[in-house]
Amino acid sequence: MLKQMRSGAHSIVLKFLLFGLLLLAFVGLALMDYRGKLSGTYQASNVATIDGEKISSVEFEQLMQQALRRQKMSTEEAYKSGYPAQYLQNEINSRVLTKNVRDLGLIVSNEEAAKQLQVMLAPFTAQGLDKKTALQTMLYNMGISEGQLVESMKAQIGVETLMKSISTGIKAPPQMAQDALKYRSEARRAEYFTVTADEAGKAEQPDDKALEEYYKKISGRFMIPEARTLAVLVVDAKSLGLSKDPTEEERKAWYEEHKDSYKVGERRVIAQLVVPKKEDADKLLAEAKTAKNLEALSKGAGKGISTYVRSGEYTEAETPTGLSDAFKAEKGAVVGPVETPLVFLIAQVEDVKPASVRSYDEVKADVADAMSAANDSGEALMKRADEIEDLIASGKGLEDIAQQMKLKLTTLEKVTQNDLAVTKLPAADQIFAEGFKLSKGTISQRLDAPTGEFVIVEVRDVFPAQEQPIAKVHADVLKAWNAEKKSALLDQATSKILDRLKMGEDFDNVAKSLGKKVSRTEMVRRDEHAKAAAMMKGMFPALFALDKIGQVTAIGTAADGATILRLADRRIDDAKEPRKEDLEQLRNMLDHAVQKDLLEQYRMSLLAKYNVKIDNKVLDRISKPRDENADDSGAN
């Protein structure tokens, strides 16, 4: 069974977990909050079921829209690219992996989640934000609580731990490395000559009428782009005039008033070993009861025998049923092995911490966060956003709103989409995306900037794209005509040369008849990148795309001419001993590829285990653009 199920670490981590820690965090867990609310409100068809758990079409679309906002992708773009199907598969993968970890009883501490959180906050802090503001910004932008974020990260870490335990020690067969080395060490030699565009013939010059007809076909290349005047309202913490940090006395007073919230029950510091085989688990358990050091035991056992899960603090409620004995045991005790459907768990109680009230010094930072959260910028921004949206709904424009609320309104006069690169406003990409999609006189919804602000854009004026008169772009149109005709002439000449060679004419004789001298490369291997760089543009990949000695192909453009290329010789150059580091890199790459394949099989086994079913009719309906699907809101 282990062989069947051992199929998911790097492949799933790369294909699905790297879809993002945030995907699992904000889709896998946050979606559970929506499930109860939506299922009780709407009679919706189900797009998928997982182990009997339904994903309704309403719930799925809610979650997908949240993901689109985070990725700054419009609904129209999502439908055109087939995003709904991709998103559903990622959602299913996240759920089955999280469900599998929970079924196995793997637990992850808050400390481990906190370490991962620091990694997530790094892009924000790199921009100069302090950690508290960075966290508030991230939570505000994603619309979840800190508790949801921590729980989802713990689930993610549990998945990664399981994947590592499954894939550890998986190696590619030695023969695979040898075959790959032969492929890399194949050497080839080319013969070639070049025909220039001028030698292919002279392009016929058009009269005025012909050029005008040609211009009608390509006039889109010379259009004056559409321009718009946009009004942009930016609302941030500074514009709200938020107060400074509370004083030490105010923090202490808060702590005394909310002291009950800092009570903590009894906690256990627990470390774990994840062991795939029963015999290994029994052996490690016996050794652990004497050695009392799970990390050292795991390292000493060798690769693939076990995976060490670092210790962390757990309350009784956080301890899975399978490891409940660990919460009852004394300090230093080792319990297990606990059998799960896939692995065996060994746990050690490293410390027992009695129930207590945390002191002010212990929770000083938490007190500051709590006080800030009660009146923080995120909450204030959302409140102001609601007020502005109410005013917009009542018919007021941004200029009136800015005056009423004493906010700054920025006007972008007659900008084109090319001006995005020089616009310094926050969420500039969203501003331009919405500003060039809405009609004149309309106002966008709130656009959330990644740095915590929100912006609203109003389209003041629209200047449509204009076709320029041919007299203004005559020289450029004539240049395009000549380039197109020269390219056609070169294609014709090249085709005739290739036909002659394919009919059996000698390569040197064909070149000679055209007044050309054949050039010949030295033998060059696939892995000799320096030599490849020295060859003419496109020659190296074209040479190794040919199958047999004597085959010919043509490469190039009208600007550079066409190079007629022939595969003159090929051999396996195995006399050259590969460098040790190159060989190691190749083996690692092949090991990784095998692990990916193994883990994909593991993913497929989980889909079967949890009886995953997708209703493609419902998915197809969701995947249609809204104007095509406007009246199709009923259940299946």
State the CATH number of the domain containing residue 561: 3.10.50.40
User: Are 86 and 119 in a shared domain?
Assistant: yes
User: Are 210 and 149 in a shared domain?
Assistant: no
Q: What pLDDT is stored for residue 511 in this prediction?
A: 94
Instruction: Give the integer Cα–Cα distance in Å for 434 and 262.
Output: 46
User: Are 499 and 618 in a shared domain?
Assistant: no
The answer as to whether 190 is a domain residue is: yes
Instruction: Give the integer Cα–Cα distance in Å for 342 and 544.
Output: 46
Weakly modelled stretches of the chain, pLDDT under 70:
1-44, 69-72, 74, 123-130, 133, 136-138, 140-144, 177-178, 237-246, 317-323, 340-342, 368-380, 421, 450-452, 529-534, 558, 573-579, 582, 624-636
Instruction: Give the integer Cα–Cα distance in Å for 426 and 453.
Output: 8
The answer as to whether 181 is a domain residue is: no
The answer as to whether 531 is a domain residue is: yes
Q: What is the DSSP letter of 560?
A: T
Share of the chain above pLDDT 90, in %: 13
Instruction: Give the integer Cα–Cα distance in Å for 289 and 611.
Output: 40
Half-sphere exposure in the Cβ direction for 273 (13 Å, CA): 32
User: Are 298 and 440 in a shared domain?
Assistant: no
The answer as to whether 382 is a domain residue is: yes
Q: Sort 201 into a burial class: Cβ within 10 Å, 0-12 / 13-18 / 19+.
A: middle
Q: What pLDDT is stored for residue 41 in this prediction?
A: 33
Q: What pLDDT is stored for residue 550 in this prediction?
A: 93
Burial 178-195 (b: 16+ CB within 10 A, else e): eebbeeebbbbbbbbbbb
**Residue-range definition of the domain harbouring residue 523:** 186-223+471-572
Edge-to-edge strand order for the sheet containing 227-235? Answer: 409-415, 227-235, 454-463, 447-448
Q: What pLDDT is stored for residue 493 in this prediction?
A: 92
Q: What pLDDT is stored for residue 589 in this prediction?
A: 81
- Tell me the pLDDT tens digit for each residue of 8-41: 333 333 333 333 333 333 333 333 333 333 333 3
Tokens representing 441 are 């006189």
Instruction: Give the integer Cα–Cα distance in Å for 331 and 333.
Output: 6
Q: What is the DSSP letter of 470?
A: G
Element (H, E) at 27: none
Residue among 415, 382, 385 nearest 401 (CA)? 385
Q: What pLDDT is stored for residue 627 in this prediction?
A: 44
Q: Examine the fold and report which residue of 423, 443, 463 is the final residue of a domain before the chain moves on.
A: 463
Determine how many CB atoms are found less than 10 A away from the CB of residue 28: 22
User: Are 420 and 517 in a shared domain?
Assistant: no
Q: Helix, strand, or coil here: 61?
A: helix
Q: Examine the fold and report which residue of 301, 323, 354 is the final residue of a domain before the chain moves on.
A: 354
The answer as to whether 365 is a domain residue is: no
Residues 346/335, Cβ–Cβ less than 8 Å: yes
CA-derived radius of gyration, the chain? 33
Q: Which amino acid type is present at position 96? A: V
Q: What pLDDT is stored for residue 633 in this prediction?
A: 39
User: Are 325 and 413 in a shared domain?
Assistant: no
Instruction: Give the integer Cα–Cα distance in Å for 327 and 347.
Output: 10
User: Are 26 and 168 in a shared domain?
Assistant: yes
* pTM above threshold 0.75: no
User: Are 144 and 102 in a shared domain?
Assistant: yes
CA angle 204–208–213, rounded 5-degree value: 85
The answer as to whether 369 is a domain residue is: no
The answer as to whether 370 is a domain residue is: no
- CATH code assigned at 433: 3.10.50
User: Are 15 and 156 in a shared domain?
Assistant: yes
Tell the residue number behind the tokens 């590829």, with chain if given: 593
User: Are 57 and 150 in a shared domain?
Assistant: yes
User: Are 303 and 435 in a shared domain?
Assistant: no
User: Are 9 and 80 in a shared domain?
Assistant: yes
Domain count, the chain: 4
The answer as to whether 110 is a domain residue is: yes
